Structure 1
Amino acid sequence: MVRAHSRRRSLTVFLATSLSLLLLSPVTGLLHAPEARAEARGRADAAPDPKVTETPGTVSLSVPAGRTSPGYTVDVDKDAFLLTTRRAGATVLRSAAGDTGGLRFRSHGTWQHATGLTGWTFEGGVLTLTADTTLDGATVEARVTPEADRYALDWDVKGGSPDQLGLAYDLSSAGHWYGHGEADTPAGGPGVDQPWPLDAGEVEHENFGPASYSMIDPFWYTSRSTGLRVDTGHVMDVAINEGGKDGIGRFTVESADTYRATVFVESTPLEVYRDYIGIVGSPTKSDATYEQYAKPLWNSWAQFYTHVDQAKLLDYATDLKANGLDGHTIQLDDKWESNYGNLTFDSTAYPDPKAMSDKIHAMGFDFGLWVTLWINLDSANYQEAADKGYLLKDAEDPAKPCEVTWWNGTAGIVDLANPEAKAWYEGRLKTLMSTYDVDGLKFDTRFFDEKCAPHDGYKASDYQRLGSELADQFDLQGAGIRVHWDGTAHKAGFVTRQVDKGTGWDSLRASVSQNLAISTIGYPFIESDMIGGSLSQPAPSKDVLVRWAQSASLMPLMYGSTSPVDTVDVTTGQKVDYDQETVDLYREAIQRHERLAPYIWDQVQHTLKTGDPIMRPLFFDFPGDKEGYTVNDEWMLGPAVLAAPELAAGATRAVHLPPGTWYDVNQGTVIRGPRTLKDYAAPLGVTPAFVHLGAEGAAKAVKALRPRT
C-alpha cells in the first residue's frame, strides 16, 4: 500500500509539473513552418555582401552573419588547394589533404587531384578558382557561389580525359557524420549493420545511385552543423572511413560531367536538414491513413517466405485474430503468382482466391498483394510485353529488351515512361484487384536498372518519379514503397519500409539507426523492417521478437510478419512455437502503439506543415547536448517522447536523458536532465520511455504510455 501511495503521489507531482510547464514554458522543438523559414531566409539573405580577401598563402571568401544565419568563411589554401570552411573562426569542414586530395578525379584508371592555386576572380557573386593537378596537362576550374547559409561548389577538369570526379573530406574536421540512408558496409549493412554516426563504422557503398534498391539520397550532415548535397543523376561511389580507420569521406560521381555540390553551414544539424528539405521538398500528404498508423500491417513474407498457400495464409490470419493481435491488413507477399509477371494466381496453391479474400475480410482485415514490374522470361506475359515494346531496352543493344537477374530469376522490366506499357500494366493490376476484392498493393523490386536504357527523352532518375506516380494510384497499406533520390519521392508522402533485416540483435539495432538515417534524409513516414526480421536467417528468438515489437511500438508505424503464436524456421523447415508470454507482450506492444496513435497522427500533421522528421536523433531537439550525438539506441518520437527500448540481450540498459524535465512512464517519477541513468531496469515486460514535460503533445503521450494496471 505504501508503494501504491508513493506512485500516486509521484503522478500528482508530475501532473502539476506538466501543467505548469505546458502553460508557462515556450514550446520548443521542430515548429517552424516552411513560410516562416522562407521569410527568415529572406532576412538572412539581406546580410552584407560576401567579400574575398587574399594573403600570401590563402584566398578567403567571407559571408557575414545574418539574423537567421551564422555566417562563415571558406579559406582556399594556395599551395595545396585545400578548402576549409569556418564558422565563428572554428573549422567545421575541411577537404582531405595529402595524396587523397580534396578535388579528385580518375584518369585512365589512376586517381589524380587538384594541387596549387593558379588564379582566381570574384565576379557576379561567384568566386572562380583555377588550379594545377597531379596530372600533366590537366587543370581544375572550381566555382564557389555563396549564399547566406550555404555555398554551391561546382567544378570541372580541363584535359586529362577523366571519367570520374569526386570530393573528399577529412571526417574529423566536421565532427560526426550522418545521413546517406541505408548504408552498404563491410560489417553486413544494410541488412545487419548501420553505423550511427557513419564515422563510427565504415561505409563502402558502390552503385550508390537513383536506381538502387537501397533507400538513399546524396546528402550528408555533421555534428558541427555542416552538410553536403551532391546534385547528380549519375551513380556514385561513396566511401566513409574506408578500412575503418582512414578518417576520410569520399563522394565520387561516376561521370566526367560538372561536379555540382552544395555545402550547408548552419548553427544546428536540424537547420542543415531544413535547408536540404527546402531544396528537395517535403511531403504534401500522407499516403498512409490514420488506421494504418494506429494498427500493424501483417505481411506473409517472414512467416512463410515463398512457402505459402491459401490454407497457410488463412490459418495465419485466424491465429492472429484469435489471439487479439490486431492489425488493419493481411498482405500476401511473394509467391502467389503462377509465374512472376503473370499477375494471375497459382491455381494449385490458391484454388479459390476470392473465397480466401472474403474470409480475410470477414475477420476484419483488409487484403493485399505483393506485386512487381519485373516479368520473368518464362512468364506468359513476357512475350506479349516484349513484342509490344512494353519493356525497357538494353543499354548496349537497344534493339532487344533489357534482361535483369533478381532473386527470383531473369526478367524484363515494364517501361513506365511508355504510356501504352504503363496503361497495360495498370489495367492488369486493376482487373486483378476487382476480380479478387484486393484492397491494396505492396510494390517491390526497382523501377529501373542501370543495365537498361531509359525511354527516349527520359533519364534514369526519372523512373523514381514514374514509380511514385504509379504507386500513388493504389493503397499501399502501410507497406509503402522504396522510391528515393528524386524530389517527387520526398513530396509523395509514402511510407518507407526498410530493406530486409536479419533476425538477431544486430539487425534490431540496425533497424533503429537505419530509421534515423532514412528519416533525416527526408522520408519521415518510416517503419522498421518486418518485426523480428527475415533475410533467410533462423526464426527470431522470443526475446528478439518481443523487443523488436516493443521498439516498433514507439515508431511511426508497425510492420509485422513473424507471428508470436508460431512460425516456421526457414533454415530447418521446422515449426517454432512461442509461449503465451510472447503473445501477451507482443499484443501489449500493439496496444501501446494504438494508444499512442493520436499523438503520432498529430506528428504526421505537423510534418506535413514543416517537413520535419517524426522519428529523429536526440540532437535534433537538443543540439547543445554533446552526449546525444553518439547515442544510437534512443530516439525522439516527435517533441515529447524519448524512446529507449532494450535492443540487446539483458534486463538493464543505460538511458541518456538530454536537458529538460522528463517523466518516466514506467516508474511514474520525474527526472531532470541532462542525466544518464545507469543500469535502468528493463526486464522483458518493460519498454523504457520518457516524456519531455512542457513539449507539445506531452499530455497525450503520458496518457498513452503510462502502464495499464
Structure 2
Amino acid sequence: MKYLFKILKDEHWWGGTADHGIRMPFDEKSEYSADFRLRAPNQTMPLFISDMGRYIWSEKPFKVDISGGEITMESEYEINMYEGGTTLRDAYLSAMKRYFPFSGKRVMDEFFSSPQFNTWIEFTYDQNQQGIIEYAESIIREGYTPGVIMIDEGWQKAYGDWTFDEKKFPDPKYMTDYLHSLGFKVMLWVVPMVCPDGKYYRKYKDDMSHFLRTEKGKPALVEWWNGVSCILDFTKKADNEFLYSQLDRLVADYGIDGFKLDGGTLQMYHKSNIVNGEDNFEKTPSDILNIKWNEFGEKYPYHEYKDTFKGGGKAVIQRIRDKQHSWDKEGLNTLIPNGIVLGLIGHPFICPDMIGGGDYLAFLPDRFSLDEELFVRMAECSALFPMMQFSKAPWSTLSEENNACVKNAADTRMKFKDYIIELVREAEVSGEPILRNMEYEFPHMGYAEIKDQFMLGNKFLIAPVTKKGHTQKEVILPEGKWKLYNGEVINGGKKLTLDAPLGRIIYLEKLF
C-alpha cells in the first residue's frame, strides 16, 4: 500500500536513518529515495518529523520516496501522519511520548565524563595484550583522563568462540586488572556471527533451536563485511543463552566490564542476504531479528551499538557508523548532520566515530595520506558531542603542535563534563536530544538548513570548523545575549565571523 503526504510551503523534514543526515532537511525541492525494508543503515527509525509540528510514524520499516513536493511511503503496514504542534520540538516530543517514551533508566557516566579510547585503528585485526597495555599507558602518560577503553575485533579465537586468543593474550586477567588499576573500564568487541567451520557450528548445526535457519532448516549463511557466516537468532532462547554464557564468563573470569555489540543489521538478517536459501525457516521479519539482537546487549551497563532499527527511546549508547579520513566524503562533513538526526529520531546518547576516521581501509599503508589539519578538526568537532572517542593515537601520529591542539580539544571537553552529564540525566527522563539543531531550539527563525553548528542542550552554541583551510568561522547567532569562549559578551540576532585557528573551538553560552 502507498501513502502520500504533501510537503507544505517552507516545511522541512528530518527522519528515517541518521546515516543520511547530510542530505537533510528535506523540503519541496528535495529528491530522495530509501527502502528501509531492505536496508536500515546505522540508526534507523520508522519516523519522519517536520518543523511545522507534523510527524509520520509506522511500526514497521517502509520505502520512502521524496519528489515533486511529496513524500510517498510504501508498506504492507499502516503509516499515519499526526499534528503534534507547530514546531520541530513539538513534533518530536509528541511522537516520542506516544511511540517511544524514555523510561528513566540510567546510562553509565564513564561514557560521557572523559574521552573514550578504542583500539581498532591502532591494531586493526592484530589486537594483542602487550600493545593494548602500552596504548593504555600512553593515554595516561599524555595526560588524558582514563575512562572507557574498547578492545576491538581480533582479540577472540573465532567468530562465535568468544575466548581470548592465547597467542595474542597470554594473560588476559592480568591485562584487565592492570587496565582497571589505571582507571579504565574494559569492553570487548562482539558480533552475532558464528564461523561455519568452527566447533560451535559442528555442535549445533543440526539443532533447530540454534542459528537463523533457511527454509529447509539448514543454518543460514549470511554475507557480512568479513565474509560469510552463520548468524545467531535472538528470538530463540538457546541462542540468547549460548552468547550470554560466553560473555558472562568473560565478566566473571576476567573482570570485563561490557561489550561493543557490532553488526546484526536489518540487512544482515534480511532474507535476500541468505546465500544458501530464499527465506528463514520461521519467516521472522528482519526488523524483529535486529531488534532482538539489540535488546540482547541491554543487560550489560557498558555497551555500544551502531546498527539499530527502532532503537529510539532506549537507554542505549549509540555510535555514528565508521567514517572516512576525509573532509567531504563520508567524513567530517557528516558528523554534525548525522548527529542532529540521531537526536531527532530518539537517540540522545550518541558518539561520533573515532577521531581521524574509523574505517580501517582508509588507514592501510598503500592508500593512507595523513591530513593533520583534518585530524585536529575532527577532534574539535567531536569534543562537545555527548561523547568523544579516540582510536589512532594523536601523540604518535601528529606533529607536536597539532597533538597539542587535539589535547586542547579533549581538555575543553573536560570543562564541560558536568554540564554534559547533567544533560544526560535530563535526557534519560525527558528524551530530548542532547545535541540539538538550531531549528529545534530556535523555531521558525530560518535556521532549518544550518548543519555546521549545533546547540549542546539549551545553553551552549557549538560552532567547530569543518572545512579544510578555514581559520575563521561564520556563526549564526540568535537573538539575545551570548558569552563567547573568551568571556566577551555579544548581542545576538546576527552573523558573526570569528577567528578559529587550529586549536580553538568556537562556543558561546546563552545568557538567560
TM-score (norm 2): 0.89
Which of the residues 197, 205, 209 maps onto 2:34?
205
Per-residue deviation at 1:238? 2.5
1:179-212 deviations in Å (ceiling 9; x for gaps): 22224xxxxxx5xx72232458754323x14973
Does the CA-based 8 Å contact 1:369-1:442 persist in structure 2? yes
Does the CA-based 8 Å contact 1:210-1:464 persist in structure 2? no
Per-residue deviation at 1:483? 2.5
- Residue 321 of structure 1 aligns to which amino acid in structure 2? I
The answer to whether the aligner puts 1:387 opposite 2:206 as a matched pair is: yes
* Alpha-carbon distance in 2 for matches of 1:447, 1:391: 19
What is the match of residue 365 of structure 2?
Answer: none
Report 1:101-500 matches (<5 A).
165-171=1-7, 173=9, 175-183=11-19, 194-199=22-27, 203-206=32-35, 208-209=36-37, 212-229=40-57, 231-233=58-60, 235-241=61-67, 247-253=69-75, 257-264=76-83, 266-395=85-214, 397-446=215-264, 449-451=269-271, 459-477=285-303, 479-480=304-305, 482-485=307-310, 489-500=311-322
- 1:405–1:273 Cα change, 3 Å: same
Which of the residues 371, 374, 392 maps onto 1:562?
392
What is the match of residue 600 of structure 1?
Answer: 420
Bigger proportion of residues as strand: 1
Which of the residues 512, 523, 529 maps onto 2:347?
523
* Alpha-carbon distance in 2 for matches of 1:286, 1:502: 33
What is the match of residue 511 of structure 1?
Answer: 335
Secondary structure class of the residue paired with 1:646? coil
Secondary structure class of the residue paired with 2:15? strand
* Alpha-carbon distance in 1 for matches of 2:499, 2:169: 48
- Residue 417 of structure 1 aligns to which amino acid in structure 2? T
Report 1:82-97 matches (<5 A).
none
What is the match of residue 380 of structure 2?
Answer: 550
1:256-298 deviations in Å (ceiling 9; x for gaps): x354322335211110111110222233235532232111111
Does the CA-based 8 Å contact 1:553-1:593 persist in structure 2? yes
Report 1:27-42 matches (<5 A).
none
Does the CA-based 8 Å contact 2:312-2:345 persist in structure 1? no
Secondary structure class of the residue paired with 2:308? coil
The CA RMSD measured in Å over matched residues stands at 2.5
Per-residue deviation at 1:522? 0.8
Does the CA-based 8 Å contact 2:116-2:147 persist in structure 1? yes
* Alpha-carbon distance in 2 for matches of 1:223, 1:376: 47
* Alpha-carbon distance in 1 for matches of 2:485, 2:250: 47
- Residue 197 of structure 1 aligns to which amino acid in structure 2? P
* Alpha-carbon distance in 2 for matches of 1:398, 1:615: 47
* Alpha-carbon distance in 1 for matches of 2:455, 2:378: 17
* Alpha-carbon distance in 1 for matches of 2:392, 2:312: 30
Unaligned runs of 5+ in 2: 363-367
1:611-670 deviations in Å (ceiling 9; x for gaps): 2111111111111311x111110111111011101111210121001122111113x221
Does the CA-based 8 Å contact 1:211-1:461 persist in structure 2? no
Which of the residues 446, 450, 456 maps onto 1:637?
456
Secondary structure class of the residue paired with 2:104? coil
* Alpha-carbon distance in 1 for matches of 2:352, 2:204: 35
- 1:447–1:248 Cα change, 3 Å: closer
Secondary structure class of the residue paired with 2:45? strand
| Identity across matched positions, percent | 24
Q: Which has the higher contact order (CA 8 A, sep 6+)?
A: 2
Does the CA-based 8 Å contact 1:442-1:481 persist in structure 2? no
The answer to whether the aligner puts 1:618 opposite 2:438 as a matched pair is: yes
1:101-153 deviations in Å (ceiling 9; x for gaps): xxxxxxxxxxxxxxxxxxxxxxxxxxxxxxxxxxxxxxxxxxxxxxxxxxxxx
Which of the residues 403, 411, 414 maps onto 1:583?
403
Per-residue deviation at 1:459? 4.5
Does the CA-based 8 Å contact 2:13-2:25 persist in structure 1? yes
- Residue 502 of structure 2 aligns to which amino acid in structure 1? L
Report 1:611-690 matches (<5 A).
611-626=431-446, 628-649=447-468, 650-666=470-486, 668-678=487-497, 680-690=498-508
Per-residue deviation at 1:314? 2.2
Per-residue deviation at 1:677? 0.6
What is the match of residue 532 of structure 1?
Answer: 356
Secondary structure class of the residue paired with 1:604? helix
Secondary structure class of the residue paired with 1:217? strand
